[in-house]
Structure 1
C-alpha cells in the first residue's frame, strides 16, 4: 500500500449550531483517485474546502506529505484545483492561462514554454495554444483548466464537480480523459461529485458522506456489493429493500424471514446481525432472475412471485416494476439488458423472481 500523502485527523467544521462536518479521519494514499460522494449538504464540499485551505476548521488536522497545513494558505499546500466553472482568464490565450501558475512560481521562460506544451499534449490540445477560452467548447475549456492545474505537478489535485456543466456524452468522454491523465501522471486526486455513476466509474475508493460524516469508505465494489447501512445501499445504485427478521446465522450466511412469510437465505457482513434482529434484505434489480411462472424453490437463495405493474425501457436496460404479496411498500424492480428479440411481457401478468444467496445482502435496519 503506497504511503499516505494526505492525512486528515479529527477534522470538523461548524457554522453556529450547524455541524457541516463532524470530526472525521481519512488517509489518502499517494497516487490514489478518491471520490467524495454524497447528497447535497452531506459535507463533501466542506471537506474539500478544508483540504484546500479555502476554509478553516474548528478542530482537527490536515497533513500533506507529512507537513501540517491545517491553517496554511492554499498556495502553501502543494495542491491544484479544478472547478466546475473552469475559472480561465478570458483575456489570456490558452498558453498564457496554462503558464500563469508557472509565472507565479518564477519558472524560467524556456522551461515554462516546454511545460505548457507538455501539458497541452497531455490533454490532446496542442493546436489551441493561441486561442482564447471563448473560442473553445466546454469540454476543451475543462481540459485546459486541467492542464493549467497539472502543469506545475502539484502533489494533490482537488476537483469540485468539474464535469457538472457538461452534457452526458461529453461528460462520459471527459471521465475517460481524466482517468487516463491520472494513470499517466500518478498524481493523487480528490474529486467531489454527487453523480453515483461517475463515482463508480472513476474512483479507486469512494468516501460516501451523509450529514457531515463518513457513511462508508471503500472501493466501488465494497460499497455496491457490501453496503454497511441502508443509506449506502439506497444511495449507491438501485436497490430493492425488504423488511425481514433474522432466524439463523452460520458464518457470513443468514436465514431470514421476509415480511409476508417468505424464508430465504442471504449474506450478512455485519457481525451485529444475529437471530431475532430486524434487517433489510437488499436485492439489486439486475440480480433478480425472471421466470414466466412461479420458480422452483431454491435452498441457495430465494424466490417469490409478483405481479407486473409497469415496464420502462431506459435505453441499454429494461426495468420491470412488480408488486409482491410480501411487500406493501414500493414495488420491486428487476432489470436486464434491452434486447430487441427478448421476451415480451404484459402488464398484470404474474412472474416469478429468484436470486442466489451471494446476491442477497442482509443490512442492519
Structure 2
C-alpha cells in the first residue's frame, strides 16, 4: 500500500454564524499516525470531513502529496474511510464485502478475490471469508471494515471514532490490532477520537482541537508533560494546577511563589516568562509525592485527604489543600496489596521535583 503526505492550508468551515473550523494549517507526514482529539464541537470531525471531501470548505486548500483535491469528489481523493458504524452489506459474504471496493474500481474478479483474501490474512481472520456480517462479533466486524478500507490501497486512511461502539476490553484489543496493521502497512492514518487514553496509546502525534482551532500539536509526551495552555493540561489526563508568580528564571527552570502565602517551588518553563509573571504550575498526580504530615522531605504543601479511590493498577488520593485559595489536589501511585494507605481526614504533606512540574503562562488560558 502506498502512503502520502497530507497538507491542509488555511482550511475553514462555517455554518451560518457558527465557526466549525477556523483557518487551520496542518501537515501530516507520510506514514504517520495522527489523532485528532478534542471534546464534542471542537472541530475534529469537521476537519476530517473536509479532508475526505464529505463537506465543502469555505476557504483554504487540501493537498494529498502535491495534488490539490480541495474540491475533488470523495472517490477521486484516493482516501479510505472507516466509520464507527461498520456499514457492512448484510447480504454479502465477508469476502464479497471486502472485494466490493475493487469491484467498483473495475478490478478483475480473480484479482479482487486474491486481494480480499490477502486483506483477511492481514487482519488475521482468513477463516471467516464465507460468513455473513451477522455471524461476527463487533470486533470482527470492525476488523472487516478496516480490511475493506485498505484492500484498494488508498494513500490515506481516515478513521472516525471506529472503536466507539466496543466495550473497554475489546477497544483495547482493537487499538493494538490497528497499531499492528499500521506498522505493517506503513500507511498514513488520521484517526478521530474523544478518548484521551486511546489517543495517547495509538498516536505518533496528537492534534488537540478546541472551539474549531488547533490548541496544540505534538507527540503524546509533548501534550501530556509539556502542555502549552491550561486547556491542554486540564483536558489530557488529570492534573494539579496551582496558581503562582514567577520569582526567578534560571535557564529552563523557574522559581515560583505559590498561592497567597507564597509557598516556594520550582518548575520547568520556556523563554516566554519573566519575574512577576502569573502562571499555573501543572503537576501530574503520579509526580506528587504524598506521605503522612511531616514525613516528606522538602514538603511544599499540606492537605487533608477527602477521598481514596482504587482504580486497579493505581490508587488515587484526593485532597483539600490547607491553603484555602488553592484548588483540590490529587496524587496517584501504584496499588499495592500491602503498604501505605490513606483514609479520609488524614493530614498529609506533598512535594514534587522541579523537573516534574511545568509552568503554564496565565496568558495561555485558552
| TM-score tier (shorter) | over 0.9
Question: Kindly tell me: are residues 92 and 65 of structure 1, through their superposed partners in 2, closer, same or farther at Cα, counting changes over 3 Å?
Answer: same
Tell me the residue number matched to 1:98: 98
Moved over 4 A (4+): none
DSSP-derived class of the 2:5 partner = strand
Contact 2:123/2:147, CA 8 A, preserved across alignment: yes
CA distance in 1, matches of 2:119, 2:324: 56
Counterparts in 2 of 1:54-73, with a 5 A limit? 54-73=54-73
Other-structure match for 2:308: 311
- Would you say 1:331 and 2:328 are equivalent positions? yes
Q: What stretches of structure 1 of length at least 5 have no aligned partner?
A: none
> In structure 2, do the counterparts of structure 1 residues 4 and 106 end up closer, same or farther at CA, with 3 Å as the change threshold?
closer
Residue in structure 2 matched with residue 29 of structure 1 by the alignment: 29
- Segments of structure 2 that go 5 or more residues without pairing to the other structure are none
Q: 1:278 to 1:4 in 2, by over 3 A?
A: farther
Deviates more, 1:329-338 or 1:88-97: 329-338
Bigger mean CA offset, 336-345 vs 196-205 = 336-345
The number of residue pairs the alignment matches comes to 359
In structure 2, distance between residues paired with 1:75 and 1:147: 17
Contact 2:36 2:192 in 1 (8 A): yes
Alignment of 1:130-209 (within 5 A): 130-209=130-209
Distance 2:115 2:306 in 1: 60
Match of 1:293?
293
TM-score (norm 1): 0.96
Which residue does 1:87 correspond to in 2? 87
| 8 Å CA contact retained: 2:31, 2:188 | yes
User: Does structure 2 retain, via aligned residues, the 8 Å contact 1:258–1:326?
Assistant: no
**How far apart are the structure 2 equivalents of 1:34 and 1:326?**
41
CA shift for structure 1 position 4: 6.3
After TM superposition, give the deviation of residue 303 of structure 1 in Å: 2.0
In 1, distance between residues paired with 2:349 and 2:67?
59
SS of 1:335's partner is strand
Q: State the partner residue of 1:266.
A: 267
Verify the 8 A CA contact 2:296 2:349 in the aligned structure 1. no
